Amino acid sequence: MNVTQLPSAFTDKMKHMLQEEFTDFMASYDEPRLFGLRINGIKLSPEEFQAKKREDFHLTPIPWADHGFYYQEENRPGKHPYYHAGLYYIQEPSAMLPVELLDVQPNDRVLDLCAAPGGKSTQIAAKLGGTGTLVVNDIHSDRVKALVKNLELIGVRNSIVLNERPERMMSTFASFFDKILIDAPCSGEGMFRKEEDMARQWEKHGVEVCSAMQHDLLRQAAAMLAPGGTIVYSTCTFSPEENEMQIAAFLDDHPEFEVVAPSAALAGAGLSTGRPEWVSGAAKGSAADAVSRTVRLWPHRLKGEGHFAAALRLSAAPAPAEAGASHAAAAKPAAKHRGGGPAKAAADLAPLHAWAAVELRFPLLEEGKLVSFGEHVYMQPHGIPNLAGIKVVRPGWYIGSLHKGRFVPAHALAMGIRESEAVRILPLSVDDPRIIRYLKGETLEVDEAELKLHSPVASNKMAPAKGWSLVTVDGYPVGWGKWLDGMMKNEYPQGWRWT
Ligand SMILES: C[S@@+](CC[C@H](N)C(=O)[O-])C[C@H]1O[C@@H](n2cnc3c(N)ncnc32)[C@H](O)[C@@H]1O
């Protein structure tokens, strides 16, 4: 980006803040853009990925992100069959830090409050590794569509997707979550280099409007955090009003929280600390210590865009009024979808049970709780409270729909299972031209001998060649096809196709 396109009010403020560092900061706008991707740990490890198709990607590790790598622009990872198999997620390198600070542990209940389009949700899901529960939310319904698609693409089985105002979630999820990410809407100053439009939008989404929203989001999230839990608050902006000052004001109102410094391993990755002197009236004593445990990523000090993050831990001892609130919420009876009909009676799900018994090699129906709305059936993770009155976009993993007594498996089901979990597989190699033809939506010629057939979970009788087939690339699912008489009918969804 040309520095002359930067708003002068922005550069004047940065000059005043950074003083002798300002020249280096401005020089970073002449540097080339950086590109990052994160290997999807739900599907494979970085070592397994590197062993697969090394020559297509030139990857170098991002020091602060577990599975994160820089790639070269000419690698075009968005235009590769592995992208369609969800083997990685394309994400700006600095944006990978907040989830590293969240310290997600197996079986955690995690909320991603401002989640669309889902970069950090997919990272949290990988850290959960199929355990626990991930609740993701975004206030803008148009952005939630991308969020749903990204979670499906990387094969998440244990999430629910909401499209709600956080204040309407607070009583349902009171003291419920172990970890909460607030990747807050912000003035986006750290993204001016990457997205020139952000600089043009800056006046409109100004610092003042954003900081009022951030103030509310922090307090709403605090009400949904379990004792001993952690909130990570992050922005992609430089303004102290949205960063250090938000944290200082929050700690003033919430002395039961403390700021946790990054682990020694992360601290050595080129991160900078928050700046207490930028808090109006300058934070002093313990407030200054707290603010200096927050994190800044500066584009002139590391290979990434500008970000800020703070990990806020709630003390473990619950106040008497809060004790037990989370588990009381979890014990409420089953959910009702706003705008959807009541859950179907168990008998209506018979076609699904029949299908799963002959088409799958694992006990899908034991993974969670089946919920259905209209003809759509979802697998909801265990322990979700009653969602009455909340706008739910996905009450669980979408596994399929019921049409005239038949079960039709969803694309999300194909993406969420492993090759070893289907009875009928078309295993394509990444070098087979038919993989691109499949991704374009074409019918394929497939000899019966090319199918891998197995027996289902409930029997030792081999599956017949005719029927629903999981199409895979180098062992990873990309979608469904239906095989009959040497032809594979294409079931790859319209909106996902290779163009
Ligand atoms: C920085 S973006 C999130 C990016 C996302 N975490 C990711 O990694 O892909 C902020 C998001 O907050 C959403 N948002 C704005 N105000 C919100 C609110 N009050 N509650 C929930 N989400 C909100 C916006 O729609 C936007 O998608």
| CATH code for the domain of 481 | 2.30.130.60
Report the pLDDT averaged over residues 391-406: 96
CA of 113 to the centre of ligand 1 (A): 7
pLDDT score at 318: 56
- Residue 120 falls within a domain, yes or no? yes
Give residue 487's Cα distance to chain centre: 36
Residue nearest to atom 25 of ligand 1 (CA): 140
Return the DSSP state at 360.
B
Q: Which atom of ligand 1 is nearest to the CA of 118?
A: 9
Alpha-carbon span 178 to 128, nearest angstrom? 12
Do the Cβ atoms of 28 and 193 come closer than 8 Å? yes
**Domain check: are 186 and 274 in the same one?**
yes
Q: Which domain does 426 fall in, by range?
A: 420-496
Q: Is residue 398 part of a domain?
A: yes
Give the active site residue among 34, 186, 236, 371: 236
Q: Looking at the predicted structure, is the pLDDT value of residue 402 above 70?
A: yes
Of the residues 386, 414, 442, the one at which a domain ends: 414
In the structure, what pLDDT confidence band is assigned to residue 193 with cuts at 50, 70 and 90?
A: confident
* pLDDT tens digit sequence for 338-365: 333 444 444 489 999 999 999 999 999 8
Segments of 322-381 assigned E as strands: 369-373, 376-380
274, 293 Cβ separation under 8 angstroms: yes
Active-site residue 186, yes or no? no
Contact yes or no for 297/101 (Cβ under 8 A): no
**250-254, 303-307, 333-337: lowest mean pLDDT where?**
333-337
pLDDT of residue 321: 53
- On the question of pLDDT at 460 being above 90, the answer is no
Tokens of 388: 């009455």
Q: What is the average pLDDT score of the chain?
A: 91
Helix, coil or strand: residue 376: strand
Query: Which atom number of ligand 1 is nearest to the Cα of residue 147?
Result: 9
What's the confidence (pLDDT) of residue 203? Answer: 74
Pocket of ligand 1 (CB under 6 A): 95, 113-120, 137-140, 143, 166, 183, 185, 213, 217
475 C-alpha to ligand 1 centroid (Å): 34
Q: Are 111 and 224 in contact (CB under 8 A)?
A: yes
Can you tell me which atom of ligand 1 is nearest the CA of 140?
25
Residue 1 within any structural domain of the chain: no
* 123 Cα–ligand 1 center, Å: 16
- Please measure the distance between the N-terminal and C-terminal CA atoms of the chain and give it in whole angstroms: 29
Residue-wise pLDDT tens digits, 203-243? 776 899 999 999 999 999 999 999 999 999 999 999 999 99
Residue 21 inside a domain? The answer is no
Q: Which residues contact 150 (CB under 8 A, 6 or more apart)?
A: 89, 117, 118, 119, 121, 122
Residues in the chain: 499
What percentage of the chain carries pLDDT values higher than 70? Answer: 93
- For residues 200 and 232, membership in a common domain is answered with yes
Number of separate domains in the chain: 3
Percent above pLDDT 90 for the chain: 81
Nearest Cα residue to atom 13 of ligand 1: 114
Q: Kindly indicate the confidence band of residue 280, based on its pLDDT and cuts at 50, 70 and 90.
A: confident
Give the CATH number for residue 148: 3.40.50.150
Residue 288 has what pLDDT? 87
Please write the tens of the pLDDT for every residue from 49-95: 999 877 889 999 999 999 999 999 999 999 999 999 999 999 999 99
Q: Which residues pair with 479 in a beta bridge?
A: 471
Tokens of 13: 């403020």
pLDDT of 394 reads: 98
